[in-house]
A and B are shown apart, each in its own frame.
Chain A
Amino acid sequence: MAYVPLADQDKEMEMHHPHNWVEEYVFSQDHKVIAIQYGSIAVFTGIVGLTLSVLFRLQLGFPESVDFIDPNFYYQAVTMHGMIMVVYFLTALFLGGFGNYMIPLMCGARDMVFPFMNMLSVWTFLISVIILMASFFVGGGPTGAGWTLYPPQTAMEGTPGHDMGIVLMLISLAVFIIATTMGGLNYAVTVLQYRCRGLTMMRLPLTVWGIFVATVLALFAFPALLVAAIMMLFDTLLGTSFFMPAVIEAGQPLDHNGGSPLLFQHLFWFFGHPEVYIVALPAFGLVSDVLSTHARKNIFGYRMMVWAIVAIGGLSFIVWAHHMYVSGMHPYFGFFFATTTLIIAVPTAMKVYNWVLTLWEGDIRLNAPMYFAIGFIFTFIHGGLTGLFLGNVVIDLPLSDTYFVIAHFHMVMGVSPILVLFAAIYHWYPLMSGRMFNEKIAKLHFWLTFLGAYAIYLPMHYLGFLGVPRRYYVLGETDFIPMSAQDLNAAITIAAIFVAVAQLLFFWNIIWSLKHGKKAEKNPWGSASLEWQTPDLPPKHGNWGEDLPTVYRWAYDYSVPGAHEDFIPQNTPESVEPTVDTEHFDPDHDQSKADI
């Protein structure tokens, strides 16, 4: 099998075959190995981010109880936590991890279009993580300017890491963007060009749609961060004044003059808002497939789901300034962005309805992946609703920079995508490892995580209403915050430690099951989509053995009336599994119900 076409329509191309151990597992060009590498590095950064959060929660819950947590350390921990979780953990895991694993399999291709560039991408990503982590060890430590890195704060004497820390952060981000661009070109072009015979765009599982649109967002939004990072590097290292205004620090004027901090905010959020959907859209896609498979029903309103993904992707570029309502913008400007922000909630809400309607009258299998997927619907509705509050300028003004915002984005961007990640990892675990995980432990993991997350974030909404500001080392005394707020903070910290420790169940489960889990049978969930139809489980290098698959139907033929089983794989020809002619099929003899 030296020469095989990587995909039907492509020229014959030599598939890279590993010659030794190193080429097979280290410098591999197999998308599945790269996916695991990407995923493992991302999870590692996630663990660092989680640890940091436990540390700064200790300070918030029990002020000054831990010796080494001084104000500087607190700010550094908060900053690094935010940036790590958003960029190096979630983005990398969804795009580099799941994108790499799922796209070629779900598209019926042997690999990505540019396997070598794919390998470069993961190693570049590793370098960016090393640079980031190096900032913990340089003099002055990592930057403590908040994950939004607003100037002039980043460069001020009083901000920890204002010299080396911020420089390493910006360089690391630039390197990360190069890695994502190399990966992203691969994902997007693979989806467009390497689908197997018969697999039209509208037959793709929503997972691929979500990752595809998120990739396009990443390709076009990260440049804004790159531009901002380059100009800020110039300001910090070379003394220009793109963003740095004239500042007087400890009585001394700094060398900078006349720069515009607002310009930075615009660039940052022009990247920042699409970024939240770069994380959310893959999660939307993955959860749709998990829900549909375990409800044994086709996803409700497939076309609407695709349109919503595309619409959200487009709209997410024109809402960025809702993060800047308090920056003193012109009221009409705020009005415009409030309107677009509320409009983007419409396709988002449509997706939620469709998830719920997919469950409606389904033959629901309540297993661990399904627990997490349903849990996601709850947390996402919750976080989406608070987003609607914040989207209105007048409501946002008092709530901005309080714990209400923290609660909003953790429900919507922290808890929700992570629940989907767990759902997806459990769901595809048999495919990736060939083993089943321990179902009981997984369910226990769900309840602890789900209830624990509510115990952490629900009270934060209330703290926000009280006016407790975010990014404060200690609360101190105020006229408006009652002393009892501190008790709530302590309770939140205890819940956070609890949830963090509960994740050990997850790690134990997936590691233990690698060796001791029950051997998975082929297609254990009875899934219709292509990734489960490979000749081997887990799929081998090249995925499809001798022949590439041919697709005859969409990815959601579940519980089709008259079929042999309650699912029909995408590569089953019509002759084998005659399908109902939807134009004329009608169980109730009621013509008006035939079309949705």
Chain B
Amino acid sequence: MSVFKHLAVKPWERKGIIGGLKPEGAFDSPAERVALSFFLVIASVVFSLFTVSYFIRMELPDWQPLSEPAQLWFNTGLLVLSSVFFQWARSASNSEQPKNLITAFIGGGVFAILFIAGQLMTWESLQAGGYYLTSNPANAFYYLMTGLHAVHLLGGLWVWSKSSLRLLSGAEAKEVRLSIELCTVYWHFLLVVWLVLFAVLANT
């Protein structure tokens, strides 16, 4: 984007209508998509700050690394599947005669729910193994970061459930196309966040 060109304009010299119906500097996309991009940056800030805090806290002597449950690999697979299904739904919604749209979209959400359930199971197995929240900062970070990630997914699932209901009650593909697209973007984002978190947790 030519931000610098815009900023160099001398507004007192240019008169008349500039930019037609869309004034210069507006994004060529629906407001919801712009809002989502802002939100993705905000969420990235939140996760980055937790990660930075994690690395800072790790340096202190009482830190005992946690060996992550192997189940996380399985959960990661579920989340990848979830993203794949959303991507499938998205390309289906773009075609004239969408096929399997409902299956793909609902399937994506179901895998996300399974992922969250899987995450809860890791919590239980950690509890059972005596790795409590308070016993070590590494454990606390584990619960906190996986929990926060799950909360973000739940927020996405809320939008997903509304769109699913509309699809099931017979809405046409083009009515929910934007919503499907934004869900897909959000899911891919959360997958990337999860992969980073997983890498950080598993390697320390």
Contact = CB atoms under 8 A, between A and B. Distances in A.
Nearest to B8: A303
A198 B45 CA distance: 34
Nearest to B13: A582
B179 to A, nearest CB: 14
B15 A574 contact: yes
Nearest to A240: B140
B74 interface: no
B130 interface: no
8 contacts: A242-B137, A242-B140, A258-B61, A259-B57, A259-B137, A551-B17, A582-B13, A583-B13
A113 interface: yes
Chain B interface category by residue count: 35 or more
Contact of B42 (A194, A220, A306, A573): A220
Chain A interface category by residue count: 35 or more
B10 A201 contact: no
Per DSSP, are chain B's interface residues mostly helix, strand or loop, or mixed?
Answer: loop
Interface string B98-124: 000000000000000000000000000
B20 A197 contact: yes
Contacts of A9: 21-23, 26
A305 to B, nearest CB: 11
Contacts of B16: 198, 552, 573-574
Contacts of A255: 134
A9 B25 CA distance: 13
Contacts of B61: 258
Interface string B16-55: 1111111111110001001100110110011001100100
B144 interface: yes
A240 B34 contact: no
A307 interface: yes
B31 A189 contact: yes
Nearest to A555: B11
Contacts of A263: 53, 56-57
Interface string A227-265: 100110010001111100000000000010111100100
Interface centre among B12, B18, B35, B148 (most CB of A within 10 A): B12
Interface string B129-171: 0000110010010001000100000000000000000000000
A185 interface: yes
Interface in A453-496: none
Contact of B35 (A114, A226, A258): A114
A224 B34 contact: no
Contacts of A10: 31
Interface in A556-583: 556-557, 573-574, 579, 582-583
